[in-house]
Structure 1
Amino acid sequence: MSDTTTQFLRETTSRLDRLATLAEEGALDPAVDLITASLQAGGIVQAFGTGHSQAFAMEIAGRAGGLIPTNNIALRDVALFGSQDVAILTDPTLERDPSIVDELWEISGPGPDDVFVIASNSGVNGSIVGTALKAKENGNPVIAVTSLEHTTRVTPKHPSGKRLSEVADVVIDNLAPYGDTTLALDGDIGIGAVSSLTAAFIAQLLTIGVAERLAGAGSVPPIYLSANIPGGDDHNHRLEDQYGDRLRRHA
């Protein structure tokens, strides 16, 4: 491996090791508790992320080895299921717009027992903060996954002047540095973004923690099997049917 590859590996694994240690020490327990309580009450996990943080929501919702009672909220929903023209999705600043929150909420139809897990490295964009505020207004708990180093150094874009970390009930630091990149090329060109890797690890730690908590309480965790193994589709559809149209699954 090149020196750069080794350096990036070190930057990544050191953060994953730190997250694993934090999880072992119980730092993720408040988030696991909220998700477990929601599922036990018949609620689902509403996962949301914009930009590259969409990958976090996909890691939480609708994947093999993941929890079945989950829903992936995405900005594209306002065009696929809402009133907006598809052209709105070509606007790179859409994630900063808090005005789409009400339609996203209506499309997703959260229930009173649902819990929101929202990821944003910066934690300041209008749609992200607006969704967190909307959830809190409706009595739904919010778990944030964000970079504390980054979010404290940038200006909030939501009219409230708040950051995601200032709205959420539980905040999980993804340990990404300011600007997200961990290496420098020619002294000032940042490369080696790490937040997607740490966020995916956090998503899996939460899923594992909730599954263990449910099993420890004497119930069978509702976990997806891979659709590409025999019986996977039958297993998954049978459990999905228990939640009706609350789980939105599409290509």
Structure 2
Amino acid sequence: MSINPQMFFDEAQKIIERVRTEQMENIKKTAAVMADVIANDGVVQVYGPGHSKSFAIELAHRAGGMVPFNAVLLDQLALSGVISAEELKDPATERNPDNGLALLKLHDIRPQDSFIICSNSGINGSVVEIAMEAKRRGLHLTAVTSVDHSSKSQSRHPSGKRLFEVADVVIDNCVPHGDAILSSPELPVKVCGGSSVANVFIAQSLNAETLRLLLERNYEPPIYMSQNIEGADERNEALRAKYEGRVT
């Protein structure tokens, strides 16, 4: 059978259902930490390199999301002049542990914060270095990763560790090795990546559970309104003022 949209929908739905049934406990564990962090004026730091950037920006500065989510992105190294735009496109940038430490220097990370790192493979140098640095600072760390892919892959970090081996909590996105989820006898390799779909589901599940826990404590969560609604800019800026310099 040739590749078609229904096939992708069916396979993606299977992955999301696996996440729902197999990973909800870990989602709830992480959300409990996130609620504690936010209630104590901390910030949830979210790093996502490559296509996993979509996980970070699904949480940070997003309509319906909370202000104290900070996106930690390799793009920021280029914007600050640490690396060039050409280097940003080079896979070697994500693989370099030094870039992980350089990126953290651009952010005001405090002891009351926590970290979530999303990386499908979980093997690249910057990913593992940021994970290890988060642990060195005593911060809680959740990994969102494909355990299948990562466990079958060799680390590119000098320590030999992979992201899931460093984290306090691991949320498996249940995506198979290689990310792509459809195959056809007409094609030499699998196609249609599944990690972005799974990661968005995980991100918004974390958001929903964290909000539930905060409301349970009678804590009013600072929620972004869509900037395309009248009056939203003033409201959002007022909420961001508390976290000035701490969230992008």
Give the equivalent residue in structure 2 for 1:102. 101
- How many residues are aligned here? 246
CA shift, 1:85, in A, is: 3.9
Give the equivalent residue in structure 2 for 1:78. 77
Identity of aligned residues (%): 39
For residues 218-247 of structure 1, the C-alpha deviation after alignment (integer angstroms, 9 at most, x for no partner) is 011111110111221111111000111111
For residues 161-214 of structure 1, the C-alpha deviation after alignment (integer angstroms, 9 at most, x for no partner) is 000000011100001001111111325321121000000110000000001100
Q: Does 1:178 align with 2:177?
A: yes
1:234 and 1:22 map into 2 onto residues whose CA distance is 41
**Could you tell which deviates more after superposition, 153-162 or 68-77?**
68-77
CA shift, 1:82, in A, is: 5.1
Query: Is the Cα–Cα contact under 8 Å of residues 22 and 28 in structure 1 kept in the other structure?
Result: no
SS of the residue corresponding to residue 161 of structure 2 reads: coil
Instruction: Let me know the Cα RMSD of the aligned residues.
Output: 1.6
Structure 2 residue ranges without an equivalent (≥5): none
Q: What amino acid maps onto 2:57 in structure 1?
A: M
SS of the residue corresponding to residue 46 of structure 1 reads: strand
SS of the residue corresponding to residue 71 of structure 1 reads: strand
Give the equivalent residue in structure 1 for 2:224. 224
Q: What amino acid maps onto 2:194 in structure 1?
A: V
Give the equivalent residue in structure 1 for 2:161. 162
Higher relative contact order (CA 8 A, sep 6+): 2
Query: Is the Cα–Cα contact under 8 Å of residues 3 and 182 in structure 2 kept in the other structure?
Result: no
1:26 and 1:169 map into 2 onto residues whose CA distance is 13
SS of the residue corresponding to residue 211 of structure 2 reads: helix
CA shift, 1:87, in A, is: 3.9
Query: Is the Cα–Cα contact under 8 Å of residues 82 and 103 in structure 1 kept in the other structure?
Result: no
1:133 and 1:27 map into 2 onto residues whose CA distance is 20
2:95 and 2:26 map into 1 onto residues whose CA distance is 30
TM-score for both structures, normalised by structure 2: 0.94
Q: Does 1:188 align with 2:188?
A: yes
1:206 and 1:32 map into 2 onto residues whose CA distance is 6
CA shift, 1:3, in A, is: 6.3
2:119 and 2:231 map into 1 onto residues whose CA distance is 36
**Could you tell which deviates more after superposition, 144-153 or 102-111?**
102-111
SS of the residue corresponding to residue 245 of structure 1 reads: coil
Give the equivalent residue in structure 2 for 1:136. 135
TM-score for both structures, normalised by structure 1: 0.93
2:81 and 2:163 map into 1 onto residues whose CA distance is 25
CA shift, 1:8, in A, is: 1.3
1:182 and 1:4 map into 2 onto residues whose CA distance is 12
**Could you tell which deviates more after superposition, 217-226 or 203-212?**
217-226
1:27 and 1:81 map into 2 onto residues whose CA distance is 35
Q: What amino acid maps onto 2:62 in structure 1?
A: R
Give the equivalent residue in structure 1 for 2:5. 5
Structure 1 residue runs of 4+, over 4 Å off? Answer: none
Give the equivalent residue in structure 1 for 2:61. 62
Structure 1 residue ranges without an equivalent (≥5): none
1:30 and 1:122 map into 2 onto residues whose CA distance is 22
Query: Is the Cα–Cα contact under 8 Å of residues 39 and 219 in structure 2 kept in the other structure?
Result: no
Q: What amino acid maps onto 2:12 in structure 1?
A: T
Query: Is the Cα–Cα contact under 8 Å of residues 183 and 191 in structure 1 kept in the other structure?
Result: yes
For residues 15-35 of structure 1, the C-alpha deviation after alignment (integer angstroms, 9 at most, x for no partner) is 212323346x53421111111
SS of the residue corresponding to residue 18 of structure 2 reads: helix
CA shift, 1:73, in A, is: 0.7
